[in-house]
Amino acid sequence: CIIPAVAIYEPDWRSGKAVATRIVREDADLLGIAGLWEQWRDPSTDQILHSYTMLTVNA
């Protein structure tokens, strides 16, 4: 799936400490992040759980 986002935050470790870094597009348009999603039904309660993950790589 494609996950739309205005921005994402990733830790920048160059200083030796995790510094939150906001990542956005220069033109302020939406990002399109590759993702995987799944839904699971709990057999004891019949409740549905939706989950997803974003696929990223170090740049």
State pLDDT tens for residues 4-52. Answer: 999 999 999 999 999 999 999 999 999 999 999 999 999 999 999 999 9
Q: Give which of 28, 48, 31, 52 is closest to 40, Cα–Cα.
A: 48
Q: Which helix (H) or strand (E) holds 4?
A: strand 2-5
Residue 56 has pLDDT above 80, yes or no: yes
Residues 12, 18 contacting (CB under 8 angstroms)? yes
pLDDT at 58: 76
What are all long-range contacts of 45-51, with beta carbons under 8 Å and residues at least 24 apart? none
